[in-house]
């Protein structure tokens, strides 16, 4: 029997059923295409063999269903004379199973699905202010578009009012012309909490940064108590921190907006009180999570002086302290040509004698072990791409997370610090120690403390209770 002959023998309803079933047999295939097009997932599969296996099974199913449909059709067409029995009934069952599998995977991932308002945070933005420090922006998200206003000022009267002109979901209020060493108050829509913070100190000698990474909010095994204690230490006025940097893996699965909601609502109590900047980690970005990340932490409408990306920036603190935040999630996989050109050009313009500090998620040198057969120590791609560049351009300090430990490595005078201890489950004991490791700890949660002082920087690792674990002073 020929196809045309067969189709002519079918009732119109059967024609539609077969056509629609054939189209639907590609449902799982479409899912696979979507996952592949989100490039960050390919990096996930490279680093995580068990996720890769699951995805491989989905790929097989995606190919088998349409192939099964077609071969069943062809074989029956050759053998059978009864048009009613083509295609076999089990084909509909298989197509339905593919749709259910795809639906279940999407329900599991919940991509692009916003689950509610996100609380405000006081973000450091890539725009120089009049005091020689970066401007700040109060950023928050509302599920429904709305117009809001913010009042702020150096007295509790908060005489400066910033209005939104149009309804929007993403709200960015830039606080400009802030004066060093001054306490500011701000409030949203003239009601609720009056937040206050102190802008950066008059002298960069009194700057003090807190850095931590990898809280993994939303994971089943993260230590939320440690995260909370660290946030309390960092935001406490008694401790005098000028800024807080969080280096990624802020949530466990960035595609699940309920985790971002939980994370931001939790952090907001503290990150409305201290200038705050986070960078993207591998967990934050996968399965479309990068879009949430950009909307919540560096929206397009936030001023961006140094780059045209929402993921990499330069922040200057006075004339001599430069902090770069880079998009290095697993390693160099996200180090695009555009990012490389930008970074190398920016480095070239700086005096190598200035303090140049790099902050990003993925580690460079690191002690660790293998997970699923993949080594999580010395990332040779990162080392080959960056170490010489750092040496040539006078980079002094490099902070990262990704490995859940505290470590200090001095490699040829470049000081690498890993501080992935903000609450994500701590890493296993290393089976490999990197050569120039000066301090390693995988038994405590904690954060790093950078104190600028008279041309030196003292970096210490501290527990969530603020107990000193390690301290080193780095001379310029």
- Interface with Fe ion (CB under 5 A): 214, 249, 281-282, 402, 424
How far is 188 from 211, CA to CA, in rounded Å?
28
**DSSP β-bridge partners for residue 183:** 198
Looking at the Cβ atoms of 136 and 419, the one nearer to Fe ion is 419
Contacts of residue 166, defined as CB under 8 A and 6 or more positions apart, other chains included, come to 147
Integer-rounded Cα Rg, in Å, for the chain is: 26
In the complex, what is the shortest distance from the CB of residue 362 to Fe ion, in angstroms, rounded to a whole number?
7
Q: Is 225 exposed, middle or buried (CB count within 10 Å of its CB: 0-12, 13-18, 19+)? A: exposed
Please, what is the minimum distance in Å from the beta carbon of residue 445 to Fe ion? 13
Q: 289 or 424, CB closer to Fe ion?
A: 424
Which is closer to Fe ion, CB of 282 or CB of 466?
Answer: 282
Nearer to Fe ion, 282 or 368 (CB): 282
Smaller CB distance to Fe ion: residue 105 or 371? 371
Shortest reach from residue 403's CB to Fe ion, in Å: 8
Identify the H or E element spanning 437: strand 437-441
Q: Give the residue with the Cβ less far from Fe ion, 277 or 402.
A: 402
Burial (0-12, 13-18, 19+ Cβ within 10 Å), 160: middle
Residue closer to Fe ion, measured from CB, 249 or 407: 249
Q: CB 322 → Fe ion: shortest distance, Å?
A: 25
Contacts 24+ apart (CB under 8 A), 192-197: 193/272, 194/156, 194/158, 195/120, 195/122, 195/272, 195/273, 196/273, 197/122, 197/272, 197/273, 197/274, 197/275
Quick count: other Cβ atoms within 10 Å of Cβ 159? 9
> Greatest CA separation found in the chain?
92
Residue 16 Cβ, how far from Fe ion at the closest point, in Å? 48
> CB of 325: closest distance to Fe ion in angstroms?
15
Sequence-distant (≥ 6) Cβ neighbours of residue 77 within 8 angstroms:
1, 3, 6, 86
Residue whose beta carbon is closest to Fe ion: 249
What is the closest distance, in whole angstroms, from the C-beta atom of residue 34 to Fe ion in the complex?
A: 23
């Amino acid at each position: 029997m020929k196809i045309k002959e067969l189709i002519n023998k079918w009732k119109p309803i059967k024609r539609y059923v077969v056509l629609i079933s054939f189209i639907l047999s590609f449902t799982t295939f479409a899912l696979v295409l979507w996952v592949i097009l989100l490039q960050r997932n390919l990096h996930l599969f490279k680093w995580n063999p068990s996720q890769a296996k699951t995805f491989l099974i989905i790929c097989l199913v995606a190919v088998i269903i349409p192939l099964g449909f077609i071969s069943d059709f062809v074989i029956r067409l050759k053998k059978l004379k009864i048009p009613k029995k083509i295609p076999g009934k089990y084909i509909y069952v298989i197509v339905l199973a593919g749709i259910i599998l795809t639906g279940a995977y999407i329900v599991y991932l919940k991509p692009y699905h916003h689950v509610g308002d996100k609380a405000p945070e006081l973000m450091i933005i890539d725009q120089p202010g009049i005091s020689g420090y970066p401007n700040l922006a109060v950023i928050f998200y509302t599920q429904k578009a709305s117009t809001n206003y913010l009042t702020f000022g150096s007295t509790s009267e908060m005489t400066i009012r910033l209005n939104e002109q149009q309804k929007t979901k993403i709200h960015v209020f830039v606080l400009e012309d802030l004066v060093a060493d001054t306490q500011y108050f701000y409030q949203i829509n003239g009601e609720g909490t009056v937040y206050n913070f102190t802008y950066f100190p008059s002298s960069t000698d009194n700057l003090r940064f807190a850095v931590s990474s990898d809280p993994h909010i939303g994971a089943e095994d993260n230590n939320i108590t440690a995260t909370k204690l660290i946030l309390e230490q960092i935001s406490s006025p008694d401790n005098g921190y000028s800024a807080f940097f969080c280096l990624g893996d802020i949530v466990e699965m960035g595609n699940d907006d309920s985790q971002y909601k939980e994370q931001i609502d939790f952090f907001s109590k503290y990150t409305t009180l201290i200038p705050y900047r986070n960078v993207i980690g591998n967990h934050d970005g996968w399965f479309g999570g990068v879009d949430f990340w950009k909307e919540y932490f560096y929206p397009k409408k936030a001023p961006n002086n140094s780059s045209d990306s929402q993921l990499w920036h330069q922040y200057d603190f006075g004339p001599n302290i430069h902090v770069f935040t880079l998009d290095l999630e697993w390693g160099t996989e996200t180090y695009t040509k555009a990012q490389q050109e930008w970074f190398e050009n920016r480095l070239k313009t700086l005096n190598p004698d200035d303090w140049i500090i790099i902050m990003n998620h993925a580690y460079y040198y690191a002690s660790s072990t293998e997970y699923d057969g993949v080594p999580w120590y010395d990332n040779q791609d990162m080392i080959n791409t960056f170490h010489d560049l750092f040496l040539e351009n006078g980079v002094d300090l490099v902070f990262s997370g990704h490995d859940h430990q505290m470590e200090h490595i001095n490699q040829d005078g470049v000081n690498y610090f890993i501080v992935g201890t903000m609450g994500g489950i701590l890493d296993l004991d290393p089976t490999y120690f990197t050569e120039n490791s000066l301090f390693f700890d995988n038994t405590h949660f904690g954060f790093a403390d950078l104190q600028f002082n008279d041309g030196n920087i003292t970096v210490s690792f501290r527990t969530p209770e603020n107990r000193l674990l390690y301290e080193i002073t780095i001379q310029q």
